[in-house]
A and B are shown apart, each in its own frame.
Chain A
Amino acid sequence: MLEPVNVSLESLNLMTLAPMLIPIVGALLILVVDLFKSNIDKSLYVMLSILFLFTDFMALAGSSSAFMQNGTLLGLFDVMLVDGLAIVSQFIIVVASMLFIPLALTSKRFHEFSYPEFFALFLFMIAGFQFMVATDNLILIFVGLETASLSLYTLIAMHNREKSFEAAVKYFTMGALAAGFYSFGSMIFYAVTGSVEINQIATVLVANGFSDIGFVMVGFAFILASFAFKLSLVPFHTWAPDVYEGSSAAMAGYMSIVPKIAAFIVAMRFFEFLIHSGLVWVEAILYVFVVVTMTAANLWALVQTDVKRMLAYSSISHAGFAMAAVMIGTTQANTALLLYWVLFTFTNLGSFSMLWISRQKKMLPGQNSDHSYEKFAGLVQSSPMAATIMALFMLSLAGVPPFALFWGKMYLISAAVTSGYTVLALIMALNSAIAGYYYLKLIVYMFMKDPVDSRYEKVIGSNLSLSLKTIIGIAAVGTIFAFIAVDPLLQAIGGFVYNSGY
């Protein structure tokens, strides 16, 4: 007979679990409130969500100060792992979510936001992403990934248009395939090492000198494929443009930021020990992925006729850009990746919100995509303010000096140069130049061309409301004044990353 186990509450270290529990409790509360009192105005749910996310933020601040004092925290039978990477990425996830959720308060009524389930699923999704980044246990990563993805499919489908169902089903199919790949890959690593914790896998593999190199290679290929699906790296990107086009602009912007940072963190934890153990082929495969993703997505973006699809391809290209940091794998590169993503969050938040304010309920006759370039032609004549702000975000995405993403690109490229990847740095710089072309194309449309159709004038800004204005204002301020914040941000992120050993 086994002895009964005794688990003391202190040994569980429930502090590590608090940031994830808060959104889950919030989601359940929203569902229960809806059960007892239906037909509450959606702004209450938005406020509740922001309130819970803010509490989540405070809990994160608590665990970050604990990390400063005691280093990496383990909790719940060592399943939870709160290190610097986990804390920084959770800050990005929570802040980005807080900025995106007010986009639900549009002046037009949209079907999906009248359901409290929308906000409950949103909070569940955030909890899923937080679980994903704050652990190195493959089981919990899988559970977090699927919690988040399943919520995301439903959120896309709730937009309730023909295209959004198509987008949800396409994303679902790809996601199911990615889940299969992920579980098969982790099965192989479990078979080779007898453990499902990334730390232990690394220890065992290094101790036996990668004797089962064939199996490790196959497992790596499967895991890489599953994360390439999530990060939309070429050639696993095929779902991305369709899904972005099908979902609402607010959701599309969200999808280009938050799921990817979570996937980047897991990729960092998983691939870095492989690269540092001197496996040349891991580095070579990642190198090919990075270069192909940056270049091919840029070339596709050149030929798009719809601004949202163009932004989708540009997000793919930016993901390839950031993946380069995972491949380089030094502390400097990882810091640059996180900084890049913070700045990218503000810029992409702004550009997708600008699409969101011009959302039409019905398409005009003769119009075959939601956000065609023609819609923005001559925008400067009808509303110079909107045109200027849009141009600002485009310039930032292109990496024009004073604006946000320039600093991200600069630090990333300089990280590449210091680690000796001069050719990679050249390719990155070249790609930024190509990318400038299609961002400038939109600016040319807005400033140089004459309006194609006077009916479009009424459409732009028709969805604008106070909360949308606030969010766009925050994004614009973040984009313009990034140069003030870059240095302190870099210091803080660098400290967190360095102290957790990445």
Chain B
Amino acid sequence: MEIGLNHYLVLATILFGIGLYGVMRRKNLLMLFFATEILLNSVNIGFAAISHYYADLTGQMFAFFVIAIAASEVAVGLGLLIVWYKRHNSIDLDEMSVMRG
């Protein structure tokens, strides 16, 4: 069987679904970061595949920027997480309920 663009897109969509499920389901902050990484990197697969399909490099450029942004997002998130952990000794999202809503 030939593997074509659609297979990659389906793969990207499934990974995106996993990431989305993870963001909603996980209560552990670190797991949440993993989920957002899956979310953003699933898009990268899609971009690379489409870029190859159109023989156009723009998609790969987008993928590069997504990689860089995902990294800086995790860096900021980890910074917040370290401060949070130092104060509470826990990274459980359920404990964040000082404010309603």
Binding site for B on A (CB under 8 A): 138-139, 142-143, 146, 150, 153-154, 157, 162-163, 165-170, 172-173, 176-177, 179-180, 183-184, 186-187, 190-191, 194-196, 238, 241-242, 245-246
List of B residues within 8 angstroms of A179 by Cβ: 36, 40, 69, 73
* B40 contact set on A, CB distance < 8 A: 179-180, 183
B29, B42, B96 — most chain A CB neighbours (10 Å): B96
- Distance between B64 CB and nearest chain A CB, rounded to angstroms: 9
Given contacts A150-B76, A190-B47, 10 further A-B contacts (CB under 8 A): A142-B69, A143-B65, A153-B80, A154-B79, A165-B84, A165-B87, A184-B16, A184-B43, A190-B58, A194-B50
Complex formed: what's the CA distance from A176 to B22 in Å? 12
The A-B contact count (CB < 8 A) is 108
- Residues from chain A with a CB closer than 8 A to the CB of B99 are 163, 166-167, 241-242, 245-246
Contact between A165 and B36, CB atoms less than 8 A apart: no
B47 shortest CB reach to chain A, Å: 6
Report B-chain residues with C-beta under 8 Å of the C-beta of A167. 99
Any chain A CB within 8 A of the CB of B20? yes
* Complex Cα–Cα for A170 and B97 (A): 10
Given A172, A241, A242, A245, which contacts B80 in the complex, CB threshold below 8 Å? A172
Interface pair A190/B69, CB less than 8 Å apart: no
Partner of B61, one of A139, A157, A170, A180: A139
Interface string of B63-93 (1 = CB under 8 A from A): 0011001001100110110011001000001
Docked complex Cα distance between A170 and B98 (Å): 12
Q: For the complex formed, measure the closest distance between the CB of A311 and the CB atoms of chain B, giving whole angstroms.
A: 15
Known contacts A238-B101, A245-B99; A165/B62 CB under 8 A = no
In the assembled complex, the Cα of A246 lies from the Cα of B59 at a distance in Å of: 38
Residue A187 contacts which of B47, B61, B72 (CB distance < 8 angstroms)?
Answer: B47
Q: Which residues from A are CB-within-8-Å of B100? A: 242
Give chain B nearest CB distance to A206 CB in angstroms: 19
Query: Which residues of chain B in 1-35 are interfacial with respect to chain A, using CB atoms and an 8 Å cutoff?
Result: 9, 12, 16, 19-20, 23, 29, 32
A177 x B58 contact (CB < 8 A)? no
Contact with B23, one of A154, A163, A168, A177 (Cβ below 8 angstroms): A177
5 A-B pairs with CB atoms under 8 Å apart are: A157-B83, A173-B23, A176-B36, A184-B43, A242-B101
Residue of B nearest to A194 (CB): B54
Residues of B within 8 A of A242 (CB): 99-101
**A196 and chain B: residue at smallest CB distance:** B58
Flag if B12 contacts A187 (CB, 8 Å): yes
Q: B96, A183: Cβ atoms under 8 Å?
A: no
* C-alpha gap A143/B58 in the complex (Å): 15
Q: Are B23 and A187 in contact (CB under 8 A)?
A: no
Among B16, B50, B61, B80, the most chain A Cβ lie within 10 Å of the Cβ of B80
CA distance A67 to B76 in the complex (A): 38
Report A-chain residues with C-beta under 8 Å of the C-beta of B56.
194
Residue contact B69 to A186, C-beta cutoff 8 Å:
no
Nearest 7 A/B pairs, CB to CB: A180-B39, A176-B36, A183-B43, A187-B46, A242-B99, A194-B54, A146-B69
A150/B43 contact (C-beta < 8 A), A169-B96, A177-B23, A195-B58 known: no
**Contact partners of A143 in chain B: CB under 8 A:** 65, 69
Chain A minimum-CB-distance residue to B51: A190
Instruction: Give Cα A177 to B47, complex, Å.
Output: 18
Q: Which residues of B contact A245 (CB under 8 A)?
A: 99
Alpha-carbon separation in the docked complex, A142 to B58 (Å): 14
Q: Is the CB of B46 within 8 A of A165?
A: no
Question: Taking A242-B99, A246-B99 as contacts, is the C-beta distance between A142 and B65 under 8 angstroms?
Answer: yes
Residues of B with C-beta under 8 A to A191? 9, 46, 50
With both beta carbons as reference points, the residue of chain A lying nearest to B46 in the complex is identified as A187
A245 to B98, alpha carbons, bound, how many Å?
Answer: 11
Whether A190 lies near B77 (C-beta < 8 A) is no
Q: B36's closest neighbor in chain A, by CB?
A: A176
Among the interface residues A143, A170, A176, A179, which one has the most CB atoms of the partner chain B within 10 A? A176
Residues in A with CB closer than 8 Å to B72 are 146, 150
B18 to chain A, nearest CB (A): 12
Residues of B within 8 A of A186 (CB): 62
Partner of B77, one of A142, A162, A176, A238: A176
Verify B62–A139 contact, CB threshold 8 A: yes
CA of A162 to CA of B98 in the docked complex: distance in angstroms? 8
* B77 neighbours in A (Cβ, 8 Å): 172, 176
